[in-house]
Amino acid sequence: MPEKITKTESEWREVLSEEQFKVCRKKGTEQAFSGKYWDCHDRGNYHCACCDTPLFSSITKFDSGTGWPSYYQPLTPESIATEQDTLFFMRRTEVLCSNCDSHLGHVFEDGPEPTGLRYCINSASLVLHKTESS
């Protein structure tokens, strides 16, 4: 695993849009059905918007009906980290990029087979690296 990426708040502000900074570094949430990837059907891998770590494949993306991109598993278990999130009197599992600690979204246990998980991820935290369709 590469060395963990750490930057100051001002360094992150220099490389991220205002929306990306709010979501990725301040644990914000974009409005449902507003992100650029919630209804995207292009093939490829979704990378971290902060550090370009590959996180999810379009093959595991599914329509959850929530208005956020949803995946049933990450590319590798090592690409993400999780933490308990108890903000707003809720108990959820936060999903982070394991390489730079960027807030990605949350994971829930109501997804499809084969994992039964739904990684509900903010579009602002992702960049799609498209591949050719076959």
- Residues annotated as part of the active site: 120
User: How far is 74 from 52, CA to CA, in rounded Å?
Assistant: 14
User: How far is 76 from 84, CA to CA, in rounded Å?
Assistant: 20
User: How far is 122 from 24, CA to CA, in rounded Å?
Assistant: 9
User: How far is 105 from 100, CA to CA, in rounded Å?
Assistant: 14
User: How far is 125 from 39, CA to CA, in rounded Å?
Assistant: 15
Residue owning tokens 């498209």: 130
Side by side, the strands of the sheet bearing 126-130 are: 54-57, 44-48, 126-130
